[in-house]
């Protein structure tokens, strides 16, 4: 949007929103390249290496002990107990990983029923689907709110200044950038900022909305896919299945009407 007609406060507010959106894009990029599962596997491998090393040291100690002064039975028993403890921990960790995998599979199957539903999430990831994206923010009457959208590279593609009403406000984006060019569907990063009477900017509470197109297992949590956007399930605050229920209800009504019609014809 043009900045030539903005007041100083509006320009400051918009700049703060743009900076936050760019920062969010940078954070999202670095987070996606981190895998906790790799860390978990490395930890288990390290424990197994320690077990092997411990066993090697114990057998070496027994092989080279002085026959005239062998290791006391108490010390030997203590080391065997430690050996058994490490071995048990390795086995426990392996079983725990299997249980976690089974639990994730079951949860993945159950959550798949949410595909096609509309979800609301507290996330800075804004899903653009079918050239439309929606977010809701809380504001007060007459309050100026700045909204900035950045792509995955951290480039600001859309910014807007809106005047809020008291309570929940809805902002809808048609997927066009500041120059009016239509952008492709995907995951964008958004920031919503407000300013107080003293000129201090702050984050406004907001949520994003999108249609769930898939469910996948994340590194720490189940994740919902909204087109190309991926959001942790823990960030989802509401799932609306009314559209699916309505469709089902319509089908049932249609079926009932068809049965009634057939019955009447038979009569």
Give the H or E element holding residue 213.
none
Write phi, then psi, for 101 (nearest 5 degrees).
-65, -40
| SS3 (DSSP) at 210 | strand
The DSSP result for 91-141, as a single string, is HHHHHHHHHHHHHHHHHHHHHGGGTT-EEEE--SEEEEBTTBEEEEEEE-T
- Give the angle 189-218-243 at the CA atoms, nearest 5°: 70
pLDDT over 80 (residue 70): no
Q: Where are the alpha helices (DSSP H) in the chain?
A: 8-32, 36-63, 73-111, 242-266
Q: How would you classify residue 40: left for phi > 0, otherwise alpha for psi between -120 and 50, otherwise beta?
A: alpha
Among candidates 121, 152, 116, which has minimal Cα distance to 223?
Answer: 121
How far apart, in whole angstroms, are the C-alpha atoms of residue 194 and residue 172? 18
Nearest to 129 by CA among 244, 225, 223: 225
Query: Is residue 238 scored above 70 in pLDDT?
Result: yes
Tens digit of each residue's pLDDT (9 = 90 or more) over 18-61: 999 998 887 765 554 444 444 445 555 665 666 677 677 777 77
- Look up the CATH number of domain 116-241: 2.60.40.4070
Q: Supply the pTM of this predicted model.
A: 0.64
Between 54-58, 102-106, 129-133, 173-177, the lowest mean confidence (pLDDT) is in 102-106
Exposed, middle or buried, 5 (CB in 10 Å: 0-12/13-18/19+)?
Answer: exposed
Residue ranges of the domains in the chain?
77-114, 116-241
Mean pLDDT over all residues of the chain? 77
């Amino acid at each position: 949007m043009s900045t030539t007609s903005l007041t100083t406060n509006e320009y400051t507010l918009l700049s703060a929103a743009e900076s936050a959106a760019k920062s969010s894009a940078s954070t999202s990029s670095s987070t996606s390249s981190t895998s906790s599962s790799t860390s978990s596997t490395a930890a288990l491998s390290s424990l197994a290496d320690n077990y092997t090393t411990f066993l090697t040291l114990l057998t070496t100690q027994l092989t080279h002990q002085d026959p005239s002064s062998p290791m006391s039975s108490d010390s030997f028993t203590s080391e065997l107990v430690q050996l058994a403890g490490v071995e048990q921990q390795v086995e426990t960790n392996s079983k725990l990983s299997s249980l976690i995998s089974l639990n994730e599979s079951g949860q993945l199957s159950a959550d798949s029923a949410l595909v096609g539903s509309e979800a609301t999430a507290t996330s800075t990831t804004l899903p653009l689907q079918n050239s439309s994206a929606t977010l809701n923010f809380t504001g007060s009457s007459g309050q100026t709110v700045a909204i900035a959208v950045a792509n995955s590279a951290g480039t600001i593609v859309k910014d807007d200044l809106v005047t809020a009403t008291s309570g929940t406000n809805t902002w809808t984006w048609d997927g066009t950038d500041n120059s009016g060019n239509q952008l492709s569907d995907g995951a964008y990063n958004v920031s919503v900022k407000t300013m107080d009477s003293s000129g201090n900017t702050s984050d406004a509470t907001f949520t994003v909305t999108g249609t769930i197109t898939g469910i996948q297992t994340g590194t720490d949590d189940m994740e919902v896919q909204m087109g190309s956007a991926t959001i942790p399930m823990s960030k989802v605050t509401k799932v609306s299945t009314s559209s699916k229920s309505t469709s089902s209800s319509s089908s049932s009504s249609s079926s009932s009407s068809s049965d009634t019609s057939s019955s009447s014809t038979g009569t």
